[in-house]
Amino acid sequence: MTLVTIHSILIRMSKRLQIIVPDDEAEQLRRCAEREGMTLSEWARRALDRAQKSQLGPTQEGKLDALETALRCSHPTAPIEEMLNDIERGRDLR
């Protein structure tokens, strides 16, 4: 591989993102990164990754885990009309 080819691959693999923040905020972010033993760039990449994942919603694996948890519960079940009638009868007992 030539140096030009390696350089081309690296350019396609990443982009620079510049974020302007006030000096005091930049210092706070730097301290956060330092507490976790990483550079500000790495800390910011991880924070952005977490934010992005939180907006994507639950994963298929997460949904399946939730379903398995629900199926292990022993909650009473019945047709919806019967359950609604039971709720109404329970309100009448007050």
Query: Residue 13's pLDDT is what?
Result: 74
Give the span between the Cα atoms of 12 and 7, in whole angstroms: 9
Residue 44's closest CA among 58, 64, 25?
Answer: 25
Give the span between the Cα atoms of 89 and 20, in whole angstroms: 61
**What one-character DSSP code corresponds to residue 93?**
T
What's the whole-number mean pLDDT along residues 80-90? 90
Query: Residue 92's pLDDT is what?
Result: 77
pLDDT reading at 90 higher than 90: no
pLDDT reading at 12 higher than 70: no
Give the span between the Cα atoms of 18 and 91, in whole angstroms: 59
pLDDT reading at 9 higher than 70: no
Say what the pTM is: 0.50
Q: pLDDT by residue (tens digit) across 27-80? A: 999 999 999 999 999 999 999 999 998 888 888 998 999 999 988 988 878 899
Query: Residue 4's pLDDT is what?
Result: 61
